[in-house]
Each structure stands twice: as C-alpha cells, then as structure tokens.
Amino acid sequence: MPILVKRLLAALVIILLLITINQYMSVDGLFGFGVPPYYARLIVLTGINIILAVSLNLITGFTGQFSIGHAGFMAVGAYSSAYLTVYYAGAWEQSLAGMLGASFAHVLIFFLAILVGSLVAAIAGLIVGIPSLRLRGDYLAIVTLGFAEIIRVVILNIDQVGGATGFTVPAYTNFLWVGAFAVITIVIVYNIVHSDVGRALISIREDELAAEAMGINTVRYKVLAFVISSAMAGMAGVLFGHYTSFLSTNDFQFIRSFEIIIMIVLGGMGSMTGAILGAVVITFLPELLRMLGPKLESLLSSIVGAENIPVPVHNFLLQLANYRLVIFAALLIVIMLTRPQGILGTREFGLSWLKRSRRPPEGDKPVGESVTTGDAERGSTTDSKNEVDDK
Amino acid sequence: MDTFVQQIINGLTVGAIYALIALGYTMVYGILRLINFAHGDIYMVGAFVGYFLAFQLGFATGPSLLGLTVVLVGSMVAAALVGMAIERFAYRPIRKYARMTTLITAIGVSLLIENVFVAQLGAAPRAFPQLLQEQSYTLFGNAAISKSQILIFAVSIFLMLLLQWIIFKTKVGTAMRAVSFNLSSAKLMGVNTDVIISVTFALGSALAAAAGVLTAQYNPQIDPLMGIMTGLKAFVAAVLGGIGNIPGAVLGGLLIGIAETFVVGYGQNIGIPTTFRDAVAFAILILVLLFRPTGLLGSTVQEKV
C-alpha cells in the first residue's frame, strides 16, 4: 500500500474513533451507555494536559531548554481567544449562519478562535523567547517563570477580560475538539522531532557548544522550538477556557507550569509516549486518591462487616481524601527517588518496546540511558562548566 | 520627602526578610546547584513553630522579651532540623541524578510540606501572638519606625554578621567554601561533604525560620501557603544578586523589597496599579539577567568545552 493511502486511512480511523468516543462523553451516550460527567470532564482535561505536556516536551525534553513559563502562554491563548469569542463571535456567528448554516458557522468561529489564540501565544513566545533563550539552565527557568508571572499580572489588570473577578466565556469545547487537537499536536511534534529540525534540537540538548560548532544556528532553533511550543500551549489554553467557560488568572499560576513539568519528568523527558502517560497519570492520580478512602471502607466492610470496622480505622479512611495531595506529593518524591529518569526514560512505549523488554537486560540499553548518566555526572561535580553561561 | 524616607524604611523591612530567606537559597545553590523550592515552605514552618511555641510555653498572653527570644531561637532550631531531614531523606539519595530530577523532587517536597500543613491545620490564616510591645518612634520629619521594624533590622543584621563570621572565620565555613568551590576536590581533601551539606541546610533553614517569626511580628497573619510567593521572590532576589554569592543575596533582597514598596507607594502616580507588586521582582530580574546573565554580583565563568 502506498504510504499516502496508509496515512489517509490512519487519519480516517482516528477521526471515526474520536467521533465515536465523543458520543460516549455524555450521560445518554450511544446504546444507553455513557460516561458520567465527572469522568467526561477528567478525560477532556487529560486531553488538554496531553497537549500541554507534549508541547512542553518539545522545548524541555527534546531541546533541553528548561522552561517554567508554559502556564503563561496558556493564559495568553485562553484570554486572547476568549476576548474574541465574548465580544465578536456572537455577531459573526449570526451573520455567517445565514450563509453556511448554524452548526458550521459555530465550528468555523471556534476554529478561528483557536487559530487566533495560538497565534497570539506564538507571538508572546517569540517576544519572550528571543531575549531569554540566550540564558541557560536555571537562569532560563527562572526568567521564563518571571515572564509567566508578569503575563498573569498584566492580564489581571485588563478590565475588558474581567480582571480579578474572572471572565465568563462561552463553552465551545467538547471532547472531539480536544481529541482532534491532541492528535494534531502529537503528529506535529512527532514530525518535528523526526525531521532535520528535530536532529538539530536534540543535538542542542546533548551539547549546545558542539552543536554550534557543527554549524547549527542554536539560537534560531531554540527560538523556533520555543515559539511552536508556546503556540501549542496557547491552543491548550483556548480549549481549556472554552471548556470550563470561566477564566481566572488563578488557573495560570506557576504551580500550573510546575504541573506540566511534573508530567513530562514523570513520564520520561524526551519521550512522546512518556509525556502522554505523564499527563494521564497527573490528571487522574489526585482524583483516584480522592476515591481511595471510601473504596477501601466499602471493601473492608464487605469483608468484616460494617459494624466490625474499628473506629480509628473508619475515621482514618474517611479523612484519607483530605490527605490526597499529601499522598500525591509523597508519591512524586518516591517515584523520583526510585526511578529518576521517569517512567519511560527517553524510550517510547509501543509494540517494539514490548518485544524488546523480553530480551536479557544487557541487550536492553536504549540510547537514552547513556544520556541520563552523562547528565548525572555533570550534576555531581560542581565544576560549573555547563551551569553558567555568560557569552 | 517624609513619605520617601518612610517608603525606604518599609522597603528595607520587607527587603531584610527577603534577604534572610535568599541567603538559604543562595548557600544551597552554591553548594549543590539545586534550586531548593522547599525553602519558602521552611519559612512558613518557622512561623508556625513559633506560633505553637508561643502558645505551648505560655508566651502568647503578653509581650515579653524572653518569650520573643525563646520563640525565635526555638523555631530556628526546629527549622534547622526540618531542613536537615529534608536534605537527608529527599535530596541526598538523588544528588547524583540529573538536574531535572532533583528539581522535581524539590517541588515534591514543597508540595508535601504545604499539603501536610493544609490537611492538618486548614488553609485559613491564623493570628500570630504579639510578643513585642508595638510602639512607633518618629524619626526626622514625619517618618516613623516601629519597634517590630527595628527588631527586624537588628536581628537580620546580627544574623547576617553571624553567618559571615561562620563562613569566613570558622573551620566549618572554610569547608563550606571549599565544597561550593568544587565538591569532589573538597572530598579528596578530606572534607566530610555530607556533613557540610547538612550544616548548610541547617543554617539556611534557621535563617528562613527567623524570617518567618520576624515577619509574623511585623504582619501577624500566618497561613500554610505564605511561603510560596515570598519564597519565590526571595529566590528571585538570590538570582538577582548573583546566585551562590552571599552579599549578592542580601543586596538582591533589599532591592526587591524597596522596589515592591515603591510600586505600591508611587506606582499609581505613573499609572502602575498596585497589583504589579508581585510582578516587579520578576521584571527587575529579567532586565538584570538580560544585561548581566550571572546577576549583579555573580562571578562570570567562562564556558569550556
């Protein structure tokens, strides 16, 4: 089969799959089966987090540039598109509906909003990226964090988008939008990483000086990756804002950027599937921990009987939900202590991975392993060769 | 002119607090190249230990110098122990791993401390007991300085001088400087690096706890999340002054404190809303780093292949 036909077929399958899943994302669903709203919401938020994690992985995982400002670009995308949909979309939609039909006009307007949100976030990424990407390591991290905080405070002071009281936004997003754009993000980042640009980006991650010596315009590539990554974060912001239909600058504090970093580090930096896995785990884990107490309680009572559960155990299980964030943080530390390269390392999860894991461990030395040890040696010495840059 | 002097005094008060916290960031970074995100939470822990000490030991009933001293020293000791425990159980096992791993662990520790406190004590702010008879002294003109401000200046200057003495005049301090210069060489020279790193965490945490108790005297409201923003700004102060550089951390802290107070005091005259208070630290940081990538007093290190 020609490769084009193969790809078209794959695209068709994915589209059909997304449309089918979308039907289940309501209480009625298809054939009487549906996902409860609570889970539907979690699944949509997972999709948005996948976009954020995969896009951050491009700049942090593959290019090795440490950014803690992703939430800022997300906010730029969310607020700029919301400005459009709140003040202009209604009128445009009405005038377009006559020509194209109401539902098509609706789709077109939201598509435009996503485009605008991504574009504005990309411009913000360019403005932030050009000066800051001259810095390296922790300095870059703290500057991106600073920019994100400044963006947040600036938005907080624009009265047209609600300021401190928050901004009510029409709800356009559903699972289909999020799923489609998550797939688009993954395909774009995959293609970038496997192109000559991707080679250049990875060489910058491995050794920036050597890459420069090989004739790679490191600043240009870093800014390119940063801008693409910001645009995708903006896209995620548009989807997020039009899903929750209420925007508050508190949603875009630096803790949000941390969350995205945790996703990619947990999944394994520089691994596409790792970023996706990390996004799923980080979105679901706190919610699963919330349910842990009651579930254990009912399990216990079915074994020993509800009246036989000792009171302290009963109280402990009831209060477990309050401690879910404590457990979450503790788990995070334990995972980092036991598996510092993340769940997948730089490997990709797939069919070939399953085959490879059956081999004896000696043969199972993926390329990424050596990278991790290299980093470790660098971290253990205090020779600040790679720490500080002042050219 | 009077308001200007007043703003400077208020700015220096806030700045001294930032400086005390920034010292811990800068010492740990100087030795381990680790951004210890949990440091802001140690500041919070210090304030809460002070709060409980004051109530448990019966000093909450009225102002007393003895109570203040006991609470201050007690919380410093407790925070030093917490800092050493964090280093021993969270940071030491991962010291040799990649930077990103240590950073995520630091964020994890920070989240853990915050959430343990929120789960145990609730997120609502608590009123810190007054341990100092508040009184205001008029300086030249109409500028005034309160007793708690004098306390902040006196204690922070004393602690900074003490730190300077420890680092430059004692054996431990010499070892600390050696470790921050080159960890593996220091080890080869017979320095017990584990102990020195532990001492560094203890010193930094004690300073942060002192900052916590002092802030609680100046602004008697404490809550489990108070360390997030303050800690972040203190870190910015450390980077601004040149991370790893001790006088730099103090300079950065004072600068940010003054800048923040000025934004609140004068910003509206030139069209800057007071909410920019939280952004001004970052704006200064970005401007400085673009022109001096290693901070104001940071040494420049040439990159070698």
Look at residue A379 in the predicted model and tell me its pLDDT.
38
Read off the pLDDT band of A358 (50, 70, 90): very low
In single-letter form, the type of residue at position B182 comes to N
Residue A123 pLDDT level (bands cut at 50, 70, 90): very high
Cβ-based contacts of B301 with chain A (< 8 Å): 384, 387-388, 390
Q: Which of residues 21-80 of A touch B (CB under 8 A)?
A: 66
| Alpha helical stretches, state H, A133-207 | 137-156, 175-193, 196-206
> Is position A62 within any domain?
yes
Mean pLDDT, rounded, for A198-224: 92
Q: Out of A146, A372, A382, whose CB is closest to B285?
A: A146
Residues 313-332 of A with CB under 8 A from B: 322-323, 325-326, 328-330, 332
Rounded to an integer, the average pLDDT of A240-257 is 90
Q: What is the mean pLDDT of chain B?
A: 89
pLDDT in tens, B244-275: 888 999 999 999 999 999 998 887 787 778 87
For chain A positions 266-285, those within 8 Å of chain B (CB to CB) are 266, 269
The residue of chain A nearest to residue B108, with distances taken between CA atoms, is A329
| Chain A residues within 8 A of B184 when measuring between CB atoms | 380-382
Query: Residues of chain A with pLDDT > 90: what percent?
Result: 36
DSSP β-ladder status, B136-138 and B144-146: antiparallel
A333 contacts in B (CB within 8 Å)?
A: 90, 105, 108-109, 112
Q: Which of B220, B211, B295 is nearest to B26 (CA)?
A: B295
Write the single-letter amino acid at A303: I
Read off the DSSP letter of residue B69.
Answer: H
Residue A218 to residues A168, A190, B302, Cα–Cα distance (Å): 42, 20, 18
The chain B residue lying nearest A331, using CA atoms, is: B108
CB A25 within 8 A of CB A175: yes
User: In this structure, what DSSP letter does residue B90 have?
Assistant: I
Candidates A56, A136, A149, A318: best to mutate against B (most CBs of B within 10 A) is: A149
Question: Of A177-186, A326-335, B40-49, B86-95, which range is least confident?
Answer: A326-335
Closest CA to A355 of A343, A364, A346: A364
Domain count of the fold of chain A:
1
Q: Residues B118, B121, B122, CA angle at the centre, nearest 5°?
A: 55
Once rounded to an integer, what is the mean pLDDT over residues A42-62? 94
Q: Where are the domains of chain B?
A: 2-122+138-291
- pLDDT, average across residues A101-113: 86
Residue A36, Cβ neighbours under 10 Å: how many?
A: 11
| Contact residues, chain B, for A343 at CB < 8 Å | none
Query: Is A244 contained in some domain?
Result: yes
Number of H helices, E strands in chain B: 11, 4
DSSP characters over B101-142? HHHHHHHHHHHHHHHHHHHHH-SS-EEPPP-S---EEE-STT
Instruction: Taking residues B232-254, report their average pLDDT.
Output: 91
By C-alpha distance, which of B59, B44, B48, B53 is closest to B74? B53
Q: What average pLDDT score do residues B276-288 get?
A: 88
Q: Are B231 and B209 in contact (CB under 8 A)?
A: no
CATH code at A73?
A: 1.10.3470
Nearest to A135 among B115, B293, B300 (CB): B293
Give the other-Cβ count within 10 Å of B30's Cβ. Answer: 22
The pLDDT value given to residue B248: 92
Residues A382, B239: C-beta atoms closer than 8 Å: no
Phi-psi region of A348 (alpha: psi -120 to 50; beta: other; left: phi over 0): beta
ipTM, two decimals, is 0.85
Find the range with the poorest average confidence among A265-279, A296-310, A348-362, B17-31. Answer: A348-362
The separation between CA A155 and the C-alpha centre of its own chain, rounded to angstroms, equals 22
A347 is a domain residue: no
- The identity of residue A182, as a single letter, is A
The minimal CB distance from B115 to the residues A269, A329, A382 is found for: A329
Residue A155 to chain B, least CA–CA distance (Å): 11
Residues of B in contact with A268 (CB under 8 A): none
To the nearest whole angstrom, how far is the Cα of B304 from the nearest Cα of chain A? Answer: 6
Report the C-alpha gap between A41 and A22 in whole angstroms: 12
What's the rounded mean pLDDT across residues B214-228? 91
Residue B130, Cβ density class (10 Å: 0-12 exposed, 13-18 middle, ≥19 buried): middle
Q: Do A139 and B182 touch (CB under 8 A)?
A: no
Could you give the CA distance from residue B75 to residue B51 in angstroms, rounded to a whole number?
9
pTM of the model: 0.85
How close is the nearest chain A Cα to the Cα of B210, in Å? 25
CA atoms within 13 A on the CB side of A67: 36
- A385: pLDDT strictly greater than 50: no
Closest Cα in chain B to A128: B286
**What pLDDT was estimated at residue A63?**
92
Task: Give the range among A224-238, A281-295, A310-324, B214-228 with minimum mean pLDDT.
Answer: A310-324
CB contact under 8 A, A389 and B111: no
The verdict on domain B2-122+138-291 having CATH code 1.20.1440 is: no
Tell me which residue range forms the domain holding A173: 3-271
pLDDT digits (tens, 9 = 90+) for B53-79: 999 988 878 788 888 999 999 999 999
Are the beta carbons of A75 and A156 closer than 8 angstroms?
A: no
Q: Can you say how many angstroms the Cα of residue A148 is from the centroid of all Cα atoms in its chain?
A: 16
The string of DSSP letters for A5-33 reads HHHHHHHHHHHHHHHHHHHHSSSS-BTTB
Mean pLDDT of chain A: 83
Confidence of residue A380 (pLDDT cuts 50, 70, 90): very low
Share of chain B above pLDDT 90, in %: 57
Encoded tokens for A216: 């790679």
**What mean pLDDT is predicted for residues A372-380?**
39
Q: Provide the pLDDT confidence category of residue A371 given band limits of 50, 70 and 90.
A: very low
User: pLDDT tens digits for A135-179?
Assistant: 877 888 888 999 999 999 999 988 888 877 889 888 888 889 999
CB-CB neighbours of A296 under 10 Å:
14
pLDDT over 60 (residue A386): no
At residue A4, the pLDDT reads 86
Cβ neighbours around A303 below 10 Å, total: 9
B chain contacts of residue A341, beta-carbon cutoff 8 Å = 98, 101
A208 against A103, higher pLDDT: A208
Residues of chain B with Cβ-Cβ distance to A266 below 8 Å are 104
Mark yes or no for CB contact B285/A132 under 8 Å: no
Residue from A283, A181, A183, A187 nearest A242 by CA:
A181
Helical (H) or strand (E) element with A246: strand A246-247
Nearest to A206 by CA among A71, A93, A63: A63
**Binding-face residues of A in 118-177 toward B, CB within 8 A:** 131-132, 134-135, 137-139, 141-143, 145-147, 149-150, 152-154, 156-157, 164
Q: Which residue in A209, A380, A381 is closest to B303 by CB distance?
A: A209
Report CB contact under 8 Å: A138, B35: yes
The predicted structure's pLDDT at residue B1: 64
DSSP one-letter string for A53-112: HHHHIIIIIIS------HHHHHHHHHHHHHHHIIIIIHHHHHHHHHHH-HHHHHHHHHHH
List pLDDT tens digits, range A11-40: 888 888 888 887 777 666 666 667 788 888
Q: Which residue of B104, B184, B276 is the best one to mutate when testing the A interface, meaning the one whose CB has the most A CBs within 10 A?
A: B104
pLDDT tier at A364, thresholds 50, 70, 90: very low
The pLDDT tens digits for B114-167 are 999 998 888 899 999 888 888 888 877 778 889 889 999 999 999 999 999 999
Q: How far apart, in whole angstroms, are the C-alpha atoms of residue A352 and residue A362? A: 17
